[in-house]
Each structure stands twice: as C-alpha cells, then as structure tokens.
Amino acid sequence: MFYDSYDFWWWPFVFILIAGAVPTAIWRWAGVFLVGNMDETSEWLVFIRCVATGLVAAVIAQFVFNPTGTLAELPLWLRLGAAFGGFGIFLATGRHVFVGVLMAEVLLLSGMWLFM
C-alpha cells in the first residue's frame, strides 16, 4: 500500500489517517496496558512525562525559530507573538490547552492577514 496506489480523490486523506493514527495508536495502547496499574507519581512516569513535554517543546521551538513552507515567510516577531500570546491565554484561562492553541492560531492568522 503506497500513497499513489489508488486514484480516488479521498485516498490521500485515508492514507494520512492510517499513516498518522496507526503508529501513535500502537504506542498509546501499549502505554495503557503497561502502566495501567502504576502509581502516577512513580519515577518512571514522571520521567516519561518530562520527555514527552520536552519533545513537544522542541517541536514548537522548531516551528517558531526554524519553520518551513508558508510559516517561514512570516516574520519572527509574529511567530513569537503568537506563541507567547497563546501561552498567556493558556495560563489566563486556567490551563485550557485547546483555548491556548486556538488563540495562538488566531493571532498568527490575524497577523498574517494584516501584515502580509
């Protein structure tokens, strides 16, 4: 099964769903089964949370400081402003991730629309 195996309009979406969901779902289910009975404050789970948080922070930093595609055309101050603005809203709304991410996107798209 390859990306260009079929010539249907919907095939790329199915391929992306399969290629994106299956690898992560396997590890999520393995995590559920392997650590289901462990204490949340155990050193292993604290370490795993730290590594996961570090990886997310690294991806966000790469999007801000070393972007590709259309995001690379936006000025650094706009990317930084959207990231800090989203983080501020995240903290101001009681740590609601969805609201913080949505606000960062709104700030980025608004800045892109105004200044580009």
User: Which residues fall within 8 angstroms of residue 89, CB to CB, at 6 or more apart?
Assistant: 99, 100, 103, 104
Q: Give domain status of residue 72, yes or no.
A: yes
Host domain of residue 50:
39-115
Q: Give domain status of residue 101, yes or no.
A: yes
Q: Give domain status of residue 22, yes or no.
A: no
Q: Give domain status of residue 51, yes or no.
A: yes
- Domains contained in the chain, number: 1
Q: Give domain status of residue 15, yes or no.
A: no
Closest CA to 79 of 96, 58, 64, 99: 64
Mean pLDDT over residues 5-12, rounded?
A: 74
Mean pLDDT over residues 78-92, rounded?
A: 97
More confident residue, 86 or 42: 86
Q: Give domain status of residue 2, yes or no.
A: no
Give the pLDDT score at 34: 82
Asked whether the predicted pLDDT for residue 103 surpasses 80, the reply is: yes
Give the pLDDT score at 3: 56
Phi, psi at 24, each rounded to 5°: -75, -35
Mean pLDDT over residues 39-43, rounded?
A: 86
Q: Give domain status of residue 88, yes or no.
A: yes
More confident residue, 18 or 51: 51
Q: Give domain status of residue 20, yes or no.
A: no
